[in-house]
A and B are shown apart, each in its own frame.
Chain A
Amino acid sequence: MNFPSELLYTKDHEWIRIEGDTATVGVTDFAQSELGDIVFVDIPSEGDSLAAEAVFGSVEAVKTVSDLYLPLAGEILEVNPELDAAPEKVNSDPYGLGWMVKVRLNDASDRTGLMDVEAYKALVGA
């Protein structure tokens, strides 16, 4: 399984790429593998300002549904428009084409609750 070292991770198996005061968020390779074939990504929160660990959407696989948790507090600026027609991109490219939302962070220096790649690998036993 692939866990890029430049990303930060959450215990809920999201990844976050922080660039200045904005960030991109998705789910990890471990998460997509556990979910199985993803058929629907439902993110109705575009434009919302949400707290850290708030639910910003859900992801439906054939056999299961899972909530998506925002790693840090901020405003949902954009939802990946490609996922509506091609949710399987979360399976095939979770850190690239399968990204989920772009967020404007309330506090660009906050790293509360985030893990580096080594800590996340330890969490999932990778």
Chain B
Amino acid sequence: MESLKTTALTDVHRSMGAKMVPFAGYEMPVQYAGLLTEHHAVRNAAGLFDVSHMGEFTVEGPDALDFLQYVTSNDVSKLVPGKVQYSCLPNADSGIVDDLLVYCRGEQKYLLVVNASNIDKDWAWLQQWAPQFDVRMENQSEQWSLLALQGPHAAALLQPFTSIDLGGLAYYSFAEGELLGFPGAILSATGYTGAGGFELYLPNDAAETVWKTLLDAGAVPVGLGARDTLRLEMGYCLYGNDIDDTTNALEAGLGWITKFSKDFIQKPHLENVKAHGVERKLVGFVLTDRGVARHGYPIVDESGTAVGVVTSGSPSPTLGQSIGLGYVPVSSSTPGSKIFVEVRNQPLAAEVVSLPFLKKA
């Protein structure tokens, strides 16, 4: 077996007693004090995640914008320096290579942030197209540590440690500067929890100091387990669960980051899908019977016939309900539709609901 990769903080996680698991080829903390405690800390105060396993690619050069317009689904021309955009890498058919963040760091200067499990696949895919453009790319995944400080107390907790004015950072904006005296940090008002807060891109040698300082200041260490329940409460897609090479962006509810006003790799395929209409849709559901729906469980109709599949499912710690995402026929996709999830050979009743599960307070 290939040995697992580590982050700059792996030894710190071990010494803090975190439960470590293999994830996307990395040894990562799945939980510290307990998933529920960590989940609530992020919703109510501030939690700190090590997500250094995420990948970072730089894209620079005269054709950087044209290249990214072609390989991503969202409209990169809308980005100005200091802004971030959620997007997809469409494949050559109608599926999704990955979902990602695109950072505009200046004219002709971008940073792509991709899922850890897809770093090699994404890099190889982008290298197929890059030669047609005047761009330079660098895979800097090993050079960056990435911490996510998430929750309503994040800004107040972080501000004393940086000269960057965090109050001036709107959602999906970022600034480059110093954090705790370490230059070269990117402070980004993003995150995949719906709790607000920041993602901190740091040189590896800054990671341990920043991690310990933020914990000392009151942030709660959070593992990947709670990261998953937090993102699911918001209805955010997880690559490999809810979206993959075989799902298209329109059925996955990602039409809002798919811009037909520009040319991109799979545009003709997706226009075809759009013209004919999708056959299934990714929806949120709440179990009305007692139980827990999990990834891969069948979705069935009243007669027990399989009509779809659960792609993500979990108890929602915030709502106290059992929630999930799954693909269902369009005819069952409107909120209020009754579906059933087959849990260990038992059909449990569920109701399709609008996303996010967690409505704004």
Contacts and interface: CB of A to CB of B under 8 A. Distances in A.
Given A40-B290, A42-B291, A63 B314 contact: yes
Contacts of A65: 292, 294, 344
Contacts of A58: 344
B291 A40 contact: yes
A90 to B, nearest CB: 13
Contact of B36 (A37, A40, A42): A37
A39 B15 CA distance: 28
A58 B294 CA distance: 14
Interface in B201-238: 225, 228-229
B31 interface: yes
A62 B294 CA distance: 10
B225 A39 contact: no
Nearest to B224: A63
Contacts of A42: 290-291
A39 B225 CA distance: 15
A60 interface: yes
A63 B30 CA distance: 10
Contacts of B294: 65
B225 A63 contact: yes
A36 B18 CA distance: 13
A36 B291 contact: no
A37 B35 contact: yes
Chief secondary structure at chain B's binding surface: mixed
B152 interface: no
B108 to A, nearest CB: 43
Contacts of B314: 62-63
B62 interface: no
B35 A62 contact: yes
Interface in A4-39: 36-37, 39
- Chain A interface size, under 10 / 10 to 19 / 20 to 34 / 35 or more: 10 to 19
B344 A62 contact: no
A85 B31 CA distance: 25
B315 interface: yes
A42 B290 CA distance: 9
Interface string A62-78: 11010000000000000
Contacts of B31: 36
Contacts of B344: 58, 65
A39 B34 contact: no
Interface in B274-333: 290-292, 294, 314-315, 317
Contacts of A62: 35-36, 225, 229, 314-315, 317
Nearest to A33: B19
A36 B292 contact: no
Contact of A60 (B30, B34, B291): B291
Nearest to A44: B346
Interface string B144-187: 00000000000000000000000000000000000000000000
Nearest to B315: A39
Interface in B73-110: none
B18 to A, nearest CB: 13
Contacts of A63: 30, 35, 225, 228, 314
Interface of A: 36-37, 39-40, 42, 58, 60, 62-63, 65
Given A36-B31, A40-B315, 13 more contacts: A36-B34, A37-B36, A39-B315, A40-B290, A42-B290, A58-B344, A62-B36, A62-B225, A62-B314, A62-B315, A65-B292, A65-B294, A65-B344
21 contacts: A36-B31, A37-B34, A37-B35, A39-B292, A40-B290, A40-B291, A40-B292, A40-B315, A42-B290, A42-B291, A58-B344, A60-B291, A62-B35, A62-B36, A62-B225, A62-B314, A62-B315, A62-B317, A63-B30, A63-B228, A65-B344
